[in-house]
Amino acid sequence: MRLSNNLMYQNNINKILDNQQGVANAQERVTTGEKYLTTSEAPAAISQAM
């Protein structure tokens, strides 16, 4: 199966955007000092805290 250049570029752009979002989340965790940013990240830990 042959992939077009456009498809390869778009896949790479999507990966870069995913990585940027991961970096932004990590930076927010560092600046806020919070382990979890949303309750969906660790439902078990959140329910124990309540």
Q: Is the dihedral of CA 18, 16, 21, 33 positive or negative?
A: positive
Alpha carbons 35 and 46: distance in angstroms, whole number: 11
Is the pTM value of this prediction over 0.75? Answer: no
Structural contact between residues 25 and 18, judged by C-beta atoms closer than 8 angstroms: no
Domain extent listing, the chain: 1-34
Q: How far apart are the first and last CA of the chain?
A: 52
Task: Encode pLDDT of 1-50 as tens digits.
Answer: 688 999 999 999 999 999 999 999 899 988 988 877 777 777 776 667 66
Taking the C-alpha atoms of residue 15 and residue 23, their distance in angstroms, rounded to an integer, is 12
- pLDDT tens, position by position, 8-17: 999 999 999 9
